[in-house]
Amino acid sequence: MLILGAPLGLVAGPIADRYGSRRLILLGLAAATACLLIFGFAPIFPMLFIDSIAGAISEATVPGLSLAIAGTRFTGPASRRAIGWTIGALASAPIVGVPILTTIGGIAGWRAAFLAASGAALVIVVLVAAWLPEVKRRPADRLRLPTILDAYRPLMHDLLMRSIYACTVLRSTCWLGLLTYFGALLRDRFGLSTSEAGPAYMLGSSGYLLGSQIAGGPFARLPTRPLVAIRSVTMGLLMAVAFSAILDIRLTIALLPLACFAGAVGWVGLSALLTSETPAGAGIGGVLLAVGRFNALALGLPLFGLGSALCMGIRGHE
């Protein structure tokens, strides 16, 4: 899903800017519904593998375009608040969804959990179709491959946007490294099982949810670039302490929600910068946020966090 979602996401941005985000978001949500439904019924592994294409379509459209809408339908602090709520919704998934689905899976099996999730996704499709307004656009020319490439040319010549995107990739590397290896740290260093490590991740999700709301609330009027830089350094340093294994298990687990809090604040700030300052379309700005996560490799977490902060010091020509 991740490998296919990256190129699909780069195509989704220009399409959304030409024809509006509503149709693509509905397509992505419908693809997620189909993916979950087929997962619940699939009798053989190859069907699961093929069905992941639908999951990639959903991943390439819904997260980035949702951030693009949140960042462009409002201005100033209201934009940061909208982005904060959108990112907070991502954090609420493991807090609310994981316990519900694992309970359903424990009672009725994993297939029932997927079917229940597909039913919830179908309800969301109906709600979005009813609530999300449509922006009608009629491009004069047909969509061709050169047209898609032309949409990204302004980004290649804009130092400010290159610095923001570099910051996004580096920060995502630090963040995905945290998510990938913190569980291994708890298992190998402290001997926790997967089920015992689960509550630690729920604590982390709670910190992420709190950070996204504060970034869109009390922090909404703070300067964005220094805020992103400080939070990137904070996240990197917290992970340096955690992975050095110099603390006992309780303090190590306590670092996770703090790092997630810092990560959420930085992500809201980057989303606001990228959707508001992009010289390309809003859809491209939002999708680049989603694609940035695909470029991540979990190496050198503190250095990536520091590099992300340094990118905030790069400014384009005034």
Q: What is the CATH number of the domain that holds 302?
A: 1.20.1250
> Is there a contact between 304 and 310 (Cβ–Cβ < 8 Å)?
no
* Residue 147 belongs to a domain: no
Arithmetic mean of pLDDT over the chain: 77
* Residue 149 belongs to a domain: no
Does 163 lie in the same domain as 123? Answer: no
Own/partner long-range contacts of 138-143 (Cβ < 8 Å, ≥24 apart): 139/18, 139/19, 143/14, 143/15, 143/18
Does 307 lie in the same domain as 159? Answer: yes
Choose the weakest-confidence range: 27-41, 100-114, 144-158.
144-158
* Residue 316 belongs to a domain: no
Alpha helices in the chain (DSSP H): 2-19, 21-41, 45-72, 77-92, 98-108, 110-131, 145-156, 159-190, 194-216, 224-243, 249-277, 282-292, 301-311
Tell me which of 62 and 87 has the higher pLDDT.
62
In which band, very low, low, confident or very high, does the pLDDT at 48 lie, cut at 50, 70 and 90? confident
- Nearest CA to 121 out of 97, 138, 99 is that of 97
Which CATH number fits the domain that encloses residue 68? Answer: 1.20.1250.20
In which band, very low, low, confident or very high, does the pLDDT at 38 lie, cut at 50, 70 and 90? very high
- Which amino acid is present at 34? A
Per-residue pLDDT of 216-249, as tens digits, reads: 777 877 787 888 888 888 888 888 888 887 888 8
- Nearest CA to 85 out of 207, 209, 206, 205 is that of 209
* Residue 25 belongs to a domain: yes
Task: Centre a 10 Å sphere on the Cβ of residue 44 and count the other Cβ atoms it contains.
Answer: 7
Round to whole Å and give the CA distance between 168 and 150. 22
Does 191 lie in the same domain as 87? Answer: no
Give the model's pLDDT for residue 32: 94
Does 165 lie in the same domain as 97? Answer: no
* Residue 136 belongs to a domain: no
Give me the number of domains the chain comprises: 2
Q: Which residues contact 266 (CB under 8 A, 6 or more apart)?
A: 171, 227, 228, 231, 232, 235, 308
Round to whole Å and give the CA distance between 222 and 274. 17
Burial of 114 (0-12, 13-18, 19+ CB in 10 A): buried
* Residue 89 belongs to a domain: yes
* Residue 247 belongs to a domain: yes
Does 127 lie in the same domain as 254? Answer: no
* Residue 24 belongs to a domain: yes
Give the model's pLDDT for residue 120: 93
Q: Whole-model pTM above 0.75?
A: no
Q: Give the structural domain span for 104.
A: 2-131
